[in-house]
Structure 1
Amino acid sequence: MRVPVVVATSLLAGACIGAPSPVPPVAATPITPPAPRPMLPPPPQLVAPDRFGLSGALRQGGLTLGHAPEGTTGLTLDGTAVAIAPDGRFVIAFDRDAAAQAVLIAALADGATLTATLPIAPGAWRIERLPTLRKVPVPGGEFARVRGGELAQIVAARARGGDAEGWRQRFIWPATGRISGLFGAQRIYAGEPGSYHGGVDVAKPEGAPVVAPADGVVTLAADPPFTLEGRLLILDHGHGVTSAFLHLSRIDVAVGQTVRQGAPIGRVGRTGRATGPHLHWAMTWNGARIDPMLVAGAMPG
């Protein structure tokens, strides 16, 4: 019989088939994780001015106190850094020729910013037009040489920062009497603007006492007198606020001395370029000229 032989042959053929060849492993391709997205700061938030607790004159020549929002680490006004006290209080001011708007920005600890646009009211300055008169030229020669040194001392005195806290106080008048010259007043000579009046003049007899309008530190006591300002005294009230007292007949304090509000600091005079005895009181904040009448209020009496 042939059937068994066929089966045996088939089984033998199956036994002769070899095991499959091993497949080489495929090399793993490393996977690079995607780069983390950069952390963007939160978008700036536009807020109302009252978020900064402002109190004071939002106008040309005005001075304003405020309180920084919680978490503020930096403050700027139109790009200029504003000092912040440990309790969050600050002071800002607006020059006689300030623009119609100012931008106050607080940088917060979480990277966010708060931005307030402040409307600045225009000042009502006394402008006198003299179409037939020419502006008096600035003297040269020896005056120019001396004047340069005087101006450098004034700039340095106003730039000195200190720990004075007078900027927080309600300012008082350093002398009381008839106001004979207004801040911001200006003459136009044949179409050419002259320098505007940078302070308030108070007409007083020579020798009348002058007192500190707020706490401060003496940063300049010009004696011998300067060519224009005469005997000049500058007080630093802190946080960029300064007072200057011109044409004094006598200065009763020294540079570096701390004075308290109401303390005597000098006497009214007519030194420098002055037509009669009076006190010229000028104020600045970080170089911006401000109106003492807006800071101290109406003249008493």
Structure 2
Amino acid sequence: MLLFVAAVASCTAHPSAEPLPVAVSPPAKVEPTKFDAPVTPHSARDQFWLARPAVQGSVTIARAPSDAVKVTFNGAQVPLSADGFLLVGFDRDAENSASLVAHRADGTLIEQYIPVRPGNWAIQHVNANPLGAAKTSEEFQARRGPELARINAARAQIHDSGGWRQDFIWPLKGRISGRFGAQRVYNGTPGSYHSGLDIAMPTGTAFVAPADGIVTLTAKQPFTLEGHLLMIDHGMGLNSAFLHCSELLVEEGQVVKQGQVIGRVGATGRASGPHLHWGMKWRAARVDPLALLPAQ
């Protein structure tokens, strides 16, 4: 029996797929300056503010009550910026509600429950080798352990990047050939759900950084499933992964700016054709890049 393990996940390009609509409307730009007026007893924020509704597979900027010194999300502490902003994400399989708690200096709490809307996930049949670049299940298992270790180490890094506060841009424009959240069936064998957004373009097409960040992983030797993999930390626990690249144009530890060319489209790893797979995670939650993007 084969064990299919995919930390960043892999995907395939489907020429017959139709362009897909944006599932969640992007939020209005968050302007911290609108909250910069002096806080008075009458203007103090006594509840959490969210930039957009909570939906399975989405991420949103939030702002804590004005006197919060610490915030927890579903029981775990999350970073809080100096001006009171934070980031929260909702996994593809998140429960139907989440909890935000503001801890005040005097020991009192402000707790707010957030309803989480369900996603709408499709089923997709894929004609591709579940083992990716590996020829046997033994080879796959031998290679996969070290690959996962590098991926997990990249995600564990914490950088002070402000990319999470930006309006994200498309890394490239093209036909959407795979949607986040779709249940995958590989040659009749059920696999994990699709964890990113696929954009079909020819091999060698350049793509850019969707937001500022720090490069945390460059797989110069292709991984079994992801091929040439590039990962970027945007700060506050939010990171991007770009799979199946033909070429990586940045190095680990490099600071990248929004709109900077960082790699080229390819079909390395488990892919049936050239395309860019863009996956995103907020901490342990897998989130949909489409929810952060304007319409093409």
Matched residue of 1:271: which SS?
Answer: coil
Residues 214 and 255 of structure 2 are in contact (CA less than 8 Å); yes or no, is this contact kept in structure 1? yes
Matched residue of 1:247: which SS?
Answer: strand
Q: Which runs of 4+ in 1 moved over 6 A?
A: 135-138
Structure 1, gaps ≥5 residues long: 1-48
Residues 248 and 268 of structure 1 are in contact (CA less than 8 Å); yes or no, is this contact kept in structure 2? yes
2:214 equivalent among 208, 214, 217:
217
Please say if 1:279 is aligned against 2:276.
yes
Residues 241 and 284 of structure 1 are in contact (CA less than 8 Å); yes or no, is this contact kept in structure 2? yes
- Tell me the residue number matched to 1:94: 90
1:84 equivalent among 80, 85, 110:
80
Please say if 1:126 is aligned against 2:122.
yes
Please say if 1:180 is aligned against 2:145.
no
Q: What CA distance in whole angstroms lies between the structure 2 residues aligned with 1:66 and 1:143?
A: 41
128 and 53 in structure 1: CA distance in 2 versus 1, 3 angstrom threshold: same
Q: CA deviation at 1:127?
A: 2.4
Residues 157 and 216 of structure 2 are in contact (CA less than 8 Å); yes or no, is this contact kept in structure 1? yes
Please say if 1:249 is aligned against 2:219.
no
Q: What CA distance in whole angstroms lies between the structure 2 residues aligned with 1:244 and 1:50?
A: 36
Structure 2, gaps ≥5 residues long: 1-44
Aligned residue identity for 1:95:
D
Larger Rg: 1
> How many equivalent residue pairs?
248
Q: CA deviation at 1:258?
A: 0.3
Please say if 1:165 is aligned against 2:156.
no
Q: What CA distance in whole angstroms lies between the structure 2 residues aligned with 1:78 and 1:147?
A: 31
Q: CA deviation at 1:192?
A: 8.2
The 5 A counterparts of 1:34-49 are none
- Tell me the residue number matched to 2:52: 56
192 and 273 in structure 1: CA distance in 2 versus 1, 3 angstrom threshold: closer
Q: What CA distance in whole angstroms lies between the structure 2 residues aligned with 1:198 and 1:60?
A: 13
Q: What CA distance in whole angstroms lies between the structure 1 residues aligned with 2:62 and 2:169?
A: 20
Residues 97 and 114 of structure 2 are in contact (CA less than 8 Å); yes or no, is this contact kept in structure 1? yes
2:197 equivalent among 196, 200, 204:
200
Q: What CA distance in whole angstroms lies between the structure 1 residues aligned with 2:59 and 2:210?
A: 15
Considering only aligned residues, what root-mean-square deviation do their CA atoms show, in Å?
Answer: 2.4
72 and 50 in structure 1: CA distance in 2 versus 1, 3 angstrom threshold: closer
Please say if 1:239 is aligned against 2:256.
no
Q: What CA distance in whole angstroms lies between the structure 1 residues aligned with 2:125 and 2:176?
A: 21
Q: What CA distance in whole angstroms lies between the structure 2 residues aligned with 1:57 and 1:214?
A: 22
Residues 60 and 89 of structure 2 are in contact (CA less than 8 Å); yes or no, is this contact kept in structure 1? yes
* TM-score, scaled relative to structure 1: 0.78
Of all paired residues, the percent bearing the same amino acid is: 52
